[in-house]
Amino acid sequence: MRVGIIGYGLAGRVFHGRLLARTEGAEVVAVVTRDPERRAAAERDLPGVTCYDTVPEMVSAAGLDLAVVASVPSAHPGDALECLSAGVATVVDKPLAVDAGTAAGIVAGADGTPLTVFQNRRWDADQLTLRRLREHDRLGRILRYESRFERWRPLVDPTRWRDVTGPAEGGGALLDLGSHLVDQALSLFGPVLTVYGEVETRRANRHPDVLGQPGEGEAGDGEIGDDDAFIALEHADGTRSQLWCSAIAAAPGPRLRVLGSGAGYVVDEVDGQEEALRAGLPASEAKPRQGWLVRGAERDSVDPVPGRWDAFYPAVLAALRDGGPMPVDPMDAVRALEIIDAARRSAKNREVVRVG
Asked whether residue 25 falls in the same domain as residue 49, the answer is yes
Asked whether residue 84 falls in the same domain as residue 130, the answer is no
Asked whether residue 131 falls in the same domain as residue 99, the answer is no
Q: What pLDDT is attached to residue 223?
A: 60
Determine, yes or no, domain membership for 322. no
Asked whether residue 93 falls in the same domain as residue 238, the answer is no
Using CA atoms, how far apart are residues 308 and 44, in angstroms rounded to an integer? 26
Q: 89 pairs with which residues across the strands?
A: 66
How large is the greatest C-alpha to C-alpha distance in the chain, in angstroms? Answer: 63
Determine, yes or no, domain membership for 316. no
Asked whether residue 73 falls in the same domain as residue 146, the answer is no
Rounded to a whole number, what is the distance in angstroms from the first to the last CA of the chain?
Answer: 41
Determine, yes or no, domain membership for 323. no
Contacts of 336 (CB under 8 A, 6+ apart): 95, 179, 182, 183, 186
Q: What's the pTM? A: 0.92
Asked whether residue 266 falls in the same domain as residue 305, the answer is yes
Asked whether residue 262 falls in the same domain as residue 341, the answer is yes
Contacts of 25 (CB under 8 A, 6+ apart): 1, 314, 317
Asked whether residue 184 falls in the same domain as residue 293, the answer is yes
Task: Give the total number of structural domains in the chain.
Answer: 2
Asked whether residue 272 falls in the same domain as residue 161, the answer is yes
Segment-wise mean pLDDT, segments of 10 residues, the chain, 356 residues: 97 97 97 97 95 97 97 96 98 97 98 97 98 98 98 85 84 95 98 97 62 37 78 98 96 97 97 96 94 97 96 98 96 98 97 94
Q: What pLDDT is attached to residue 220?
A: 37
Q: What pLDDT is attached to residue 216?
A: 33
Chosen domain end from 118, 146, 161? 118
Q: How far is CA 351 from CA 174, 202, 304, 317, 354, in A?
A: 18, 21, 38, 44, 10
Please state the φ and ψ torsions of residue 77, each to the nearest 5 degrees.
-60, -50
Q: Would you say 240 and 246 are in contact if contact means Cβ atoms under 8 Å apart? A: no
Chosen domain end from 97, 118, 139? 118
- The residue segments making up the domain with residue 102 are 2-118
Q: What pLDDT is attached to residue 205?
A: 56
Asked whether residue 212 falls in the same domain as residue 336, the answer is yes
Q: What pLDDT is attached to residue 208?
A: 45
Asked whether residue 172 falls in the same domain as residue 262, the answer is yes
Please state the φ and ψ torsions of residue 296, each to the nearest 5 degrees.
60, -120
Please give the torsion angle defined by the CA atoms of residues 57, 60, 61 and 67, in that order, rounded to the nearest 10 degrees. Answer: 80
β-pairing verdict for 89-93 and 115-118: parallel
Asked whether residue 148 falls in the same domain as residue 109, the answer is no
